């Protein structure tokens, strides 16, 4: 059940961030994307807290713990880099739409 809840939670974030890929409605898209980014940041830090802080109470050998920490950090950094790239592409697209003569 927790797995389905996690998928639904991230599905909502993807839906909220969809206007970054295909902007249609102007201000409504801006509000939707803002809420999506806000939830994305909250969920990423919740994941960090759960995996790193609460994960220390599990019994693991130090090498496994280090590998887990590096892996989680790389995955989260990759996700953040992708989101920043998509936002940058969106800003460039909107800038081109605003400056192009019609």
Range of the domain at 43: 2-99
Residue 97 has pLDDT above 80, yes or no: no
- Over residues 72-95, the pLDDT tens digits come to 788 888 888 887 887 777 777 777
pLDDT in tens, 12-63: 988 888 877 766 666 567 778 888 888 888 888 887 777 766 666 666 787 8
CA distances to 37, 47, 53, 69, 77 from 44, rounded to whole Å, are 10, 5, 13, 14, 10
Structural domain total, the chain: 1
Q: Do residues 94 and 23 touch, judged by C-beta distance below 8 A?
A: yes
Global pTM?
Answer: 0.56
- Check residue 76 and give its pLDDT: 80
């Amino acid at each position: 059940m927790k797995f389905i809840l996690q998928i639904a939670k991230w599905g909502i974030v993807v839906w909220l961030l969809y206007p970054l890929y295909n902007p249609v409605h102007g201000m409504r898209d801006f509000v939707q994307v803002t809420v999506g980014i806000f939830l994305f940041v909250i969920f990423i830090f919740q994941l960090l807290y759960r995996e790193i802080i609460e994960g220390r109470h599990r019994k693991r050998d130090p090498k496994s713990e280090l590998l887990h920490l590096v892996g989680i950090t790389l995955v989260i950094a990759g996700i953040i880099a992708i989101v920043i790239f998509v936002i940058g592409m969106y800003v460039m697209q909107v800038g081109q739409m605003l400056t192009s003569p019609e």
